[in-house]
Amino acid sequence: MLTRLWPIAVITFKEGVRNRALYGIGAIAVFLLLGTQLVCSMIPRDVGKVAVDLALSSTSFAGLLIVLFIGINLMAKDLDRRTIYMVLARPISRGQYILGKFCGMGLIIGAAMTLLGGAATVSVLLTRVLYPNYFDKFTLSTLFLAILFQVLSLLLLTALSFLYSALSSTSFISLLLTVITYLIGQVTTDIKALVETADKVGIQVSAAMTFLVKAVYYLFPNLSLFDIKLQAAHGLPVPLTYVAMVSGYWFLFTALALVAAVLIFERREFP
């Protein structure tokens, strides 16, 4: 199984990292991280929180761009340009193709986030040197955990984008569905909480709407679970049980998305 996955993962990684879009995304991230220094020099207080928040937001944004403009493209281009004929003519199954692509994209995300996370860490540490009074609660471990959670969130989004690519015939639809999933994933907890406590704040919500919101909540991944920028910025501890719960949630959702993608892809034809 692995001997068949590895070549697909390697060529996916090579094709992805040589894409010029990746360098553009890297440049945006560097620009944002430099901007962090500029913003910190302009504000009079809470410099530590702002520095951590901005650094993590930059890595998160750049990571999202990588999934949307490189990840989806890598798979969609195979289908649009019929490169898939060349790949599936080898002795590999459709499932191995999907999993190999996912591993390759995982390598790209891992490499990119290592560089971006490294730059974010340097940016935060530099700010700490310049403004040491504002970093009394800051811990590097929480910053690293926040970056690791971002990596998990991007991998989950990638798995879902593969599912959408397996379902749809054009890369635009995959892109659109992935963006919608990302947006829903960010706000789904807040909207569910609002609907459930609507009476207390004097808002009337129909039963149908409550059902719809709950359905969306359980159908789409809750990406806000992976966002611990607040804890990292304020130096709040992240319980081990929370880390375990989020890791389990990530594994379950990613595995489900990949299994569904494989099952759909197995049935698909390439005329």
Partner 1 sequence: MIRIDGVSKSFLEGVRRQRVQALSELSLAIGEGEVFGFLGPNGAGKSTTIKLLLNLIRPDCGTATIAGGDVADPAVRRRIGFLPENPYFYDHLSADELLWFGGKTCGMTPSAIDARSELLLHRVDLLAARGRSLRTYSKGMLQRAGLALALIHDPDVVILDEPMSGLDPVGRRLVVDLILELKSQGKTVFFSSHILSDIERICDRVGIIAGGRLRLCGALSELLTEAGSLESVFLDVVRKADGGEVC
Site for partner 1, rule CB under 8 A: 3-4, 6-8, 10-11, 14-15, 18-19, 81-83, 85-86, 88-93, 96, 269-271
Report the C-alpha gap between 6 and 183 in whole angstroms: 32
Q: Are 7 and 86 in contact (CB under 8 A)?
A: no
With tokens 């798979």, the residue in question is 75
End-to-end CA, the chain: 27
Q: Which is nearer to partner 1, 97 or 182 (CB)?
A: 97
Please report, as a single letter, which amino acid is at residue 256. L
Q: Which is nearer to partner 1, 33 or 79 (CB)?
A: 79
Q: Which is nearer to partner 1, 170 or 206 (CB)?
A: 170
Q: Which is nearer to partner 1, 107 or 187 (CB)?
A: 107
Q: In angstroms, what is the minimal distance from the CB of 100 to partner 1?
A: 9
Q: Which is nearer to partner 1, 12 or 158 (CB)?
A: 12
Q: In angstroms, what is the minimal distance from the CB of 185 to partner 1?
A: 31
Q: In angstroms, what is the minimal distance from the CB of 90 to partner 1?
A: 4
Helix (H, G, I), strand (E, B) or coil at 189: helix
Report the C-alpha gap between 137 and 243 in whole angstroms: 20
Q: In angstroms, what is the minimal distance from the CB of 84 to partner 1?
A: 8
Report the C-alpha gap between 27 and 151 in whole angstroms: 19
Q: In angstroms, what is the minimal distance from the CB of 206 to partner 1?
A: 36
Q: SS3 letters for 220-251?
A: CCCHHHHCCHHHHHHCCCCCHHHHHHHHHHHH
